[in-house]
């Protein structure tokens, strides 16, 4: 009986290590698949049938209200945050559909201690946005922190660069990502580096 005890303990430790490793890397892997799923969607053109042809949307959370349906995913670094090895980091995607056509695509990333980042492809840019992409930063005088918004329309090349917009590895990295340069590979290109301070 004793001769089986040590191999059983070793096997249990190895299995436990593999399980923990999986729990740490799983959010980043899932988030990468989510960004790949929203990549290349075009607001005003992509149909709901084309959307559902992508396997990620067949299992996405679906909510419909007053003719608008939202397909959503949420990924979080639960284990690293629970063990206090990284600040809470969440990446979510939402695709809105009306009358069988995609009308908006949102990607939202939040990391405790930094204003959240929202990347949105929309049919109509808000007032004050003259370029696509349009970057809106939070004002330093704001009493409550607001998100950094990166907005663009269906003609922008950014709709094909969703996997490069946000660094999904932040969800599985010890200590997480602490600056916008780490959180957003495109921070320099979008002139967001000053906002990271």
Ramachandran region, residue 84 (left: φ > 0; alpha: ψ -120 to 50; beta: rest): left
pLDDT band at 74 (very low <50, low <70, confident <90, very high): very high
Instruction: Evaluate the omega torsion of the peptide bond into residue 104 and state whether it is cis, within 30 degrees of 0.
Output: no
What's the pLDDT tens digit per position in 5-25?
A: 666 666 666 666 667 777 788
Q: What is the pTM of this model?
A: 0.82
Domain that holds residue 118: 2-196
What's the pLDDT tens digit per position in 81-121?
A: 999 999 999 999 999 999 999 999 999 999 888 888 899 99
- As for how many domains the chain has, the answer is 1
């Amino acid at each position: 009986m004793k001769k089986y005890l040590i191999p059983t303990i070793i096997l249990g430790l190895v299995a436990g290590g593999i399980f923990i490793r999986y729990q740490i890397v799983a959010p980043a892997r899932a988030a990468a698949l989510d960004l790949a799923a929203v990549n290349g969607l075009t607001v005003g053109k992509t149909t709901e049938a084309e959307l559902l042809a992508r396997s990620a949307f067949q299992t996405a959370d679906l909510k419909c209200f007053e003719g608008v349906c939202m397909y959503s995913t949420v990924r979080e670094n639960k284990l690293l945050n629970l063990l206090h090895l990284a600040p809470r980091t969440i990446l979510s995607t939402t695709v809105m559909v009306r009358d069988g056509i995609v009308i908006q695509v949102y990607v939202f990333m939040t990391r405790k201690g930094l204003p959240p980042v929202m990347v949105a492809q929309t049919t109509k840019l808000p007032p004050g946005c003259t370029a696509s992409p349009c970057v809106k930063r939070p004002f330093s005088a704001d009493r409550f922190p607001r998100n950094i918004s990166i907005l663009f329309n269906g003609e922008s090349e950014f709709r094909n660069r969703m996997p490069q917009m946000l660094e999904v590895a932040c969800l599985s990295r010890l200590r997480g990502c602490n600056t916008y340069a780490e959180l957003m590979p495109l921070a320099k290109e979008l002139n967001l580096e000053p906002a990271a301070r």
